[in-house]
Amino acid sequence: MARYDVPKVVVTGMGLVTPLGNSLQETWNAMTVGVSGAAPISRFDTEKFDVKFACEVKNFDAGQFLHRKEIQRMDMFTHYAMASATMAIDDAGISFDILDRERIGVVFGSGVGGMWTYHQQQKIFNEHDERPDRISPMFVPMMIADIAAGQIAIRWGLKGPNYATVSACSTSAHALADALMLLQRGDADMMLAGGSEASICPMGLAGFSAMRALSTRNESPQTASRPFDATRDGFVMGEGGAVLVLETLEHAMNRGARIYAEFSGFGLTDDAHHITAPAEGGEGAVRSMKLAIKDAKLTIEDIDYINAHGTSTLYNDKNETAAIKTVFGERASDLVVSSTKSMTGHLLGAAGGVECAATILALYHGVVPPTINYSTPDPSCDLNYAPNIAERKEIRAALSNSFGFGGHNATLCFQRFED
């Protein structure tokens, strides 16, 4: 349904915890020089696993953001959420005491929620002869995927719309799209939106390994995530969190906020094809990109950069490339397309949020982060992927693609803010 006379929405703050750094600036600095976050897994013994590496968050101190009791009563995915939210609020220069907290909401998701908590409590249950009284009363509140959104609201007293999205690897992109709609409807003046994930645990690694979805380059983890390269052999698990502060333009201007970009549109579709494999030719992705451009009231001529889903899997990369070529036709060769998953790994439910932040910073700074580990061209992947080196480029508008198991497709559109 067409929307008329909706307010402009802008991005005024961002907070990140990623395998590349524990802040927005650390992550961006690493992205622009092409650093890989992959390394041997440090949290558990991988001797029995075929895959022994991932993109873990490193040197993260939850105590910088949470009290000791809070840390104990939250899963790691919520630690990342709270840290990202704290940094995003600081980055946006928000003083909640002078704002209407009933007009500020949170949409924040996780693809799988508290996997570490589930793993630990299941282990306790089994070790104590399956006695129910050995399970922590905090088990469910720590595990459920919506709890991060609730915890963010509780910490800052945010009483506007609040819920979680869950759509696999497009989770946080859907959270951002929903937040945009709530602002455009007039249901809020400001929204915190994004996602977090902390599923690099024995069950998480075993599950994705069983699907044969992961790269097995154990001898060279830092070169394992190689989107669009002919020798790609699967994705690399990642973890972390991302929060973006979204506001109506009027609200942002009234409080004198710094504006990173305008969040101008989105497209949401489903392949209705297969539980894990994308539709041939990226048919669903074609529609999501077209819808995002239309929703932003732009044309293909206005788009200069695409932050690709770019998982480093055989089928995603060739079908996403095909989808881009279908949407953009001859203009596809003028675009820069890059996959920051080559550096961060695949953050699953948090991927869209991190990648939107990268897209916005590319717009803001005029620098496209590279696709690293690109060495062998694939005839089915023949676009400009900013191979190995960041590319300076004036960007007017950009897309960020996120696709998830179940056929979910989300494309978000951001454009340079003009006073």
Q: Render pLDDT for 325-350 as a digit per residue (tens, 0 to 9).
A: 999 999 999 999 999 999 999 999 99
User: Cβ atoms within 10 A of the Cβ of 48, count?
Assistant: 8
State whether 180 and 283 are in the same domain: no
Verify that 281 and 407 share a domain, yes or no: yes
Q: Write out the two tokens for 217.
A: 């380059």
Vertex 89: Cα angle to 68 and 25 (nearest 5): 90
**In a shared domain, residues 290 and 172:** no
- Amino acid 419: pLDDT: 76
CB 224 within 8 Å of CB 138: no
Which residue(s) pair with 232 in the sheet? none
Q: How far apart are alpha carbons 263 and 172 in whole angstroms?
A: 15
Same-domain status, 166 and 101: yes
382 shares a domain with 236: no
pLDDT-derived band at 5 (thresholds 50, 70, 90) equals confident
Nearest-CA neighbor of 282 among 223, 325, 338? 325
228: pLDDT strictly greater than 90? yes
Q: Is 356 a catalytic residue?
A: no
**Average pLDDT of every residue of the chain:** 97
Residues 367 and 229 in one domain: no
Give the pLDDT confidence score for residue 378 in this predicted structure.
98
Domain boundary pick from 186, 221, 254: 254
CATH code, 281: 3.40.47.10
pTM above 0.75, yes or no: yes
Same domain for 120 and 216, yes or no, is yes
Q: Of 254, 274, 295, which closes a domain?
A: 254
Q: Which of 55, 169, 356, 381 is catalytic?
A: 169
Does 119 participate in catalysis according to the annotation?
Answer: no
Domain identity same for 47 and 182: yes
Model confidence at 384, pLDDT cuts 50, 70, 90, reads very high
Q: What is the number of structural domains in the chain? A: 2
| 184-208 residue pLDDT tens | 999 999 999 999 999 999 999 999 9
- pLDDT tier for residue 4 given thresholds of 50, 70 and 90: low
What is the extent of the structural domain holding 359?
266-415
> What secondary structure does DSSP assign to 341-395, as a single string?
HHHH-B-GGGHHHHHHHHHHHHHHHTEEPPB-S--SBBTTB-S---BSS-EE---
**Pick the catalytic residue: 346, 381, 408, 413?**
346
Looking at 309, 356, 381, 408, which residue is catalytic? Answer: 309
pLDDT in tens, 274-295: 999 999 999 999 999 999 999 9
Which pLDDT score is estimated for 64?
A: 98
